[in-house]
A and B are shown apart, each in its own frame.
Chain A
Amino acid sequence: GAVVSQHPSWVICKSGTSVKIECRSLDFQATTMFWYRQFPKQSLMLMATSNEGSKATYEQGVEKDKFLINHASLTLSTLTVTSAHPEDSSFYICSAEREGGIYGYTFGSGTRLTVV
């Protein structure tokens, strides 16, 4: 149980275009999902917290207008990288929690974004 599906697993896009990444909880309802960014050989940095039915809360330094997050249902959160540039190339990973995370967090398999 507690499976989180993330798509696509990798994407290459042209500079200036937008890319949408989906994160779905398959067998549980996730009122809260988290989006992380990971640069090569670095740790996971929390970008934003996605709450179903309300606006996402962003960590300091994360551009809200560039990284649009929508959590329209209890099983789906999306991250849209708008007007992508090469510096946005990174590994993006989502996670969902149940019961406030005390039972753990389930992570998606990640999306490797390359902007050319």
Chain B
Amino acid sequence: AQKVTQAQTEISVVEKEDVTLDCVYETRDTTYYLFWYKQPPSGELVFLIRRNSFDEQNEISGRYSWNFQKSTSSFNFTITASQVVDSAVYFCALRRSNYKLTFGKGTLLTVNP
């Protein structure tokens, strides 16, 4: 079964705090892809990162970083020094072998000034 779990429904932080969004996945595929998307209040989905199952290197992009650990089936996302503009719903997703995406339920991040 393909499943993505984002246990944190809502997170609220104060600006400049670091915050980590958790993502745990389940798949029987040996080759798979994981994604993070940001959905601001306007509704569009903004692509943040793609990671394939053979690449366990962590990645950093500005204030964003991702920690992929196959041993624990996790693909966590950290925002360093959060800003109000980071407020959005964040989705973790798993690409299945039939090209379809399975989304987690999303984490609503609110960054307060």
Contacts and interface: CB of A to CB of B under 8 A. Distances in A.
A61 to B, nearest CB: 15
Contact of B50 (A44, A103, A109, A112): A103
A108 B95 CA distance: 18
Contacts of B47: 104-107
A44 B103 contact: yes
B62 interface: no
Contacts of A42: 105-106
B91 interface: yes
Contact of A107 (B42, B44, B104, B105): B44
Contacts of B42: 109
Interface string A72-116: 000000000000000000010101010011111111111010000
A105 B99 CA distance: 10
Interface residues of B, number: 20
A17 to B, nearest CB: 23
Contacts of A101: 33, 95, 99, 101
B100 interface: yes
A43 B106 contact: yes
B58 interface: no
A34 interface: yes
B45 interface: yes
Interface of A: 32, 34, 41-44, 46, 49, 91, 93, 95, 97, 100-110, 112
30 contacts: A32-B99, A34-B100, A34-B101, A41-B108, A42-B105, A43-B103, A43-B104, A43-B105, A43-B106, A44-B45, A46-B100, A49-B100, A91-B43, A93-B45, A95-B45, A95-B101, A97-B99, A100-B99, A101-B33, A101-B95, A101-B101, A102-B33, A102-B95, A104-B35, A105-B101, A106-B47, A107-B45, A108-B44, A110-B43, A110-B44
Interface of B: 33, 35, 37, 42-45, 47, 50, 52, 91, 95, 99-101, 103-106, 108
